[in-house]
Amino acid sequence: MAAAAGDVCGAVPGGRGGAGAAAEARFISSAKGKGLFATKNICKGETVFVERPVVSSQFLWNALYNYRACDHCLRALETAEENAQRLLGKSSLVLPYPEQCSIRKDLHQQCPQCQVTYCSAECRQAAWEQYHQVLCLGPSRDDPTHPLNKLQEAWRNMHYPPETSSIMLMARMVATVKQAKDKEWWIKAFSQFCSKTANEEEEIVHKLLGDKFKGQLELLRLLFTEALYDEHLSRWFTPEGFRSLFALVGTNGQGIGTSSLSQWVHACDALDLPMLQREELDAFIDQLYKDIEKESGEFLNCEGSGLYVLQSCCNHSCIPNAETSFPENNFLLHLTALEDIEAGEEICISYLDCCQRERSRHSRNKILRENYLFTCSCPKCLAQADDADVTSDEEEEGEGETDDAELEDEMTDV
């Protein structure tokens, strides 16, 4: 969602491209907030920018189910073969062309205090310098009475898969400010993300926690305060401030998906093979995915969410001219042009997946209102404004089952 008016959208620390030469955030209106606009002509297929999140975290259930990811950048830690073996429940599986797997286990490191795992010394150091000194559980990692463990357990008991957010994203925001020398810089960085009215915030919390959200939100606030209270952020721990922080994460959190198996498949696709070997490899991969779907369903990726300053400025369109992806198997977000974009043109992504975008205007806006609290006015919706507000029987049959799962699949596409 676009950031609120009056905020400053800047480059993320360490990001590649930052505000860059290709795009910049501009204020549109008080109702719509900001948008992202091209500052030069961009060709179809061109990377508009690559962005590092201000903060990110793996989903708690995803981690509990042994989707092993770097605790900082979410890079998948399993080899492609290990990934496929776990998803299939078949330890004897052997993947061809194992050299196409990019996972470097020799580079993996653990925190010496709490043993969380990182993909590299660089990630371990980056986490330690930004937030991990506050969040490191040390020998209390498996102690259910530790305040942070109580907070995580409470969250898991409230927010079940398919996951769309994590209380630990909020915890890392607090820990980042607590560790920072320049606390005001980080508070300003987090304030760049859009804010909502009190009623809208309640709707977002209701969406994430369900019908008992008011009591659950207060329990989370008390546990959050016990684990992380900081005087510099005292407003975030009040009932109103915590609700606003919760809604900020629920509104702006961008899903992240990583997969060593997916990376191996892409590498195999690029191999220059004789026709017979290509056909055999393609058939093997097709059958592998069919078998995995039968065994594990659609939950294939290491999944989490992050806050991205530039990406959060991208508004929705049902005919998007750009899309996000995570081709580096970590939290680096790539925004890629889906068509030629002229200088001065707004860059829009879609909050809906491909199937949802083909539904009627009424159906599309029903999903957008329920999940993002707005009605779309993109060119496609305006052109269909006179269409009847009816939903086909086929759409009605699928809507109840697909909204959350399909949105999450779209968010974490790799």
Digits of tens for pLDDT over the chain (414 positions)?
443 333 333 343 333 444 456 999 999 888 788 899 999 999 999 999 999 999 999 999 999 999 999 999 999 999 999 999 999 999 999 999 999 999 999 999 999 999 999 999 999 999 999 999 999 999 999 999 999 999 999 999 998 888 888 899 999 999 999 999 999 999 999 988 877 777 788 888 877 787 777 789 999 999 999 999 999 999 999 999 999 999 899 889 999 999 999 999 999 999 999 999 999 999 999 999 999 999 988 888 999 999 999 999 999 999 999 999 999 999 999 999 999 999 999 999 999 988 989 999 999 999 888 878 888 999 999 999 888 766 655 555 554 444 544 444 444 445
- Identity at 294, one-letter amino acid code: K
Closest by alpha carbon to 187, among 7, 25, 314? 7
Distances (CA, A) of 166 to 43, 75, 159: 36, 18, 8
Give the chain's radius of gyration (CA, Å): 22
CB 74 within 8 A of CB 328: no
What does the alpha-carbon distance between residue 337 and residue 45 come to, in Å, rounded to a whole number? 5
CB atoms < 10 A from the CB of 234, how many?
11
Contact present, 44 and 339 (Cβ < 8 Å): yes
**Minimal CA–CA distance to 71: which of 135, 14, 12?**
135
Quote the pLDDT of residue 18.
Answer: 45
Q: Which two tokens stand for residue 205?
A: 């919390």
Residues constituting the chain: 414
Q: What is the pLDDT of residue 369?
A: 85
Secondary structure letter of residue 78 according to DSSP: S
Give the per-residue pLDDT at 162. Answer: 85
Angle, helices 80-88 vs 275-296, to 10°: value is: 50
Angle at 84 between CA 80 and CA 90, to 5 degrees: 135
Q: 393-411 and 361-372 are packed helices; what angle lies between their axes, rounded to 10 degrees?
A: 50
Counting Cα atoms < 13 Å in the Cβ hemisphere of 248 gives 22
Question: What residues form DSSP beta bridges with 33?
Answer: 29
Q: What sign results for the dihedral spanned by CA atoms 222, 226, 228, 234? A: positive
Give the phi and the psi of residue 29 in degrees, each rounded to 5.
-160, 165
Q: Would the CA dihedral through 356, 357, 360, 366 be positive or negative?
A: positive
Of 51, 57, 390, the C-alpha closest to 256 is 57
What residues pair up with 26 in beta bridges, in sequence order? 35
H helix count then E strand count, the chain: 16, 12
Instruction: Look at strands 315-316 and 346-349 and give their pairing.
Output: parallel
Strands 302-307 and 254-258: antiparallel
